[in-house]
Structure 1
Amino acid sequence: MPSMDCSTRRLAADEIAEINRTHLVDTPLRPADLLFMFGTREDVALRVDVAAKLWREGFFRWSIVSGGVTPGSEQSECTIIKAAMVAAGIPQDLVLEEHHAMNTGENVIFSLPIIDAALGLQNIRSVICLGNTWTARRYPMTLHRHWPQVEKMLLTVDSFAIPRALWHTDVEFRRRVLHEWDKIEPYKARGFIAEWPEA
């Protein structure tokens, strides 16, 4: 039997509240050693604007951009995003590159050896994860599964006109959030992600 369409699934108020409380979170930010830019085709300019603002305000020392070539493009997400970051004023030699990842797990798994070779994982104590609002805590949960030692912060962006807490009132925003929310428990069970923040 096919699963119910995320955009039409009935939602109880308590599930909406739980998603707002536990999934769609941003953490307090403080200066970090590394900004982890997860690849995307959505809202690239917005994400880069946020990264450039963080750079100007001294919130990270290095960055890594991770993302492979997606259908319809000849360039990797990493190539596109890094070029935009450099154009926005972030020094290119401070932005590490990972060009092969096709999902969030690969973003982390493929990036860790690159970070280690360039900087030494032991020298990175804190990371800001920057990505799409709807993917939300799955970024640091994936990072926590593979790199538990480092402190993780989360900042997410989107271009929807409505407030984040009202995501369920927009058909496309709702579809994206529920698509990611429905992955959390199965991914935890399969060991793809780890609970974060830890209780």
Structure 2
Amino acid sequence: MLISQFDPENLLPNHIDSILFNNLVDDGSKGDVIFVFGSQKSLKYRVPEAINLYKQNRASRILFSGGHQWQGQSDVEAKMMKEEAIKQGIPEEHILIEPISKYTKENVLFSLELLDSSIGLTNVKRILIVTTAYHMRRCHLTMMTLLPNSISYTFCPVNDESTRRDTWFTNEIGTARVREECKKLITYIRNNHLMDFDVELS
């Protein structure tokens, strides 16, 4: 069923599960760059995953994207993530940062320019996407919409405390977040901001 065909005001739990989580698991492939989307808690959840992927030789570069400066942090997301990665032994020359973007579409658009100038888009065949599990579908569709069709993707989702696939429906924060995320996806697709996608119903 196409995502655009779902009714955003009447989503059943299996609809949410299908839209946000189906078939978004790590296939173990190696890639050219590990792309990390910033967030308020990216240092806690996303950076460790990126570091693990790098140390497993899954890709030779990490790109940290995000221009928000959250309360209690001394700099914007991308720079904070880079700083932590260096502390954990990642060579600085293997890190790219995009420190301006404020939301998912900008993450991809601004990083596109960075990838082209630093690596060359023609040299990027596969991107390993690191973000929270419930955010992965939007990141993937944004990349598919804006980046060249020649690029393939591997999903490397991480779990936070409230929006795991197996627990979001057990708490109010998780339920609200995943419902809002589904509504965003459906709206963006219907408004032609993202390509539509056929998901298998759970």
The two structures have a TM-score, normalised by structure 1, of 0.85
Relative distance call for 1:11 and 1:88 in structure 2 (3 A) is farther
1:44-193 alignment runs, 5 A limit: 44-70=43-69, 72=71, 73-147=73-147, 148-160=149-161, 164-193=165-194
The two structures have a TM-score, normalised by structure 2, of 0.84
- What is the CA-CA distance between 1:27 and the residue it aligns to? 3.9
Relative distance call for 1:92 and 1:195 in structure 2 (3 A) is farther
Give yes or no for the alignment of 1:22 onto 2:19.
yes
- Structure 1 residue runs of 5 or longer lacking an equivalent are 1-8
SS at match of 1:59: coil
Indicate the larger mover: 19-28 or 36-45.
Answer: 19-28
Indicate the larger mover: 43-52 or 31-40.
Answer: 43-52
User: Paired residues, what number?
Assistant: 189
Indicate the larger mover: 119-128 or 39-48.
Answer: 39-48
RCO higher in 1 or 2 (8 Å CA, sep ≥ 6)? 2
The CA distance in 1 between the partners of 2:10 and 2:199, in whole Å, is 27
Aligned residue identity for 1:146: L
Aligned residue identity for 1:80: M
Relative distance call for 1:29 and 1:21 in structure 2 (3 A) is farther
- What is the CA-CA distance between 1:43 and the residue it aligns to? 4.5
- What is the CA-CA distance between 1:10 and the residue it aligns to? 9.2
- What is the CA-CA distance between 1:196 and the residue it aligns to? 4.9
Could you report, residue by residue, the CA deviation over 1:106-132 in whole angstroms, capped at 9, with x for unpaired residues? 000111111100000000000011111
CA contact (8 A) 1:68 1:101 kept: yes
Could you report, residue by residue, the CA deviation over 1:6-36 in whole angstroms, capped at 9, with x for unpaired residues? xxx9976xx2123223312324231111111
Q: CA RMSD in A?
A: 2.4
SS at match of 2:131: strand
The CA distance in 1 between the partners of 2:180 and 2:57, in whole Å, is 34
- What is the CA-CA distance between 1:198 and the residue it aligns to? 8.9
Q: Answer 1 or 2: which has greater strand percent.
A: 1
Aligned residue identity for 1:145: T
Aligned residue identity for 2:175: R
Percent of aligned pairs with the same amino acid: 22
- What is the CA-CA distance between 1:78 and the residue it aligns to? 0.4
CA contact (8 A) 2:20 2:136 kept: yes
Relative distance call for 1:89 and 1:71 in structure 2 (3 A) is closer
CA contact (8 A) 1:45 1:84 kept: no
The CA distance in 1 between the partners of 2:141 and 2:67, in whole Å, is 21
The CA distance in 1 between the partners of 2:26 and 2:70, in whole Å, is 33
- What is the CA-CA distance between 1:84 and the residue it aligns to? 1.0
SS at match of 1:153: strand
Could you report, residue by residue, the CA deviation over 1:46-69 in whole angstroms, capped at 9, with x for unpaired residues? 211111111111111212111003
- Structure 2 residue runs of 5 or longer lacking an equivalent are 1-7
The CA distance in 1 between the partners of 2:197 and 2:155, in whole Å, is 11
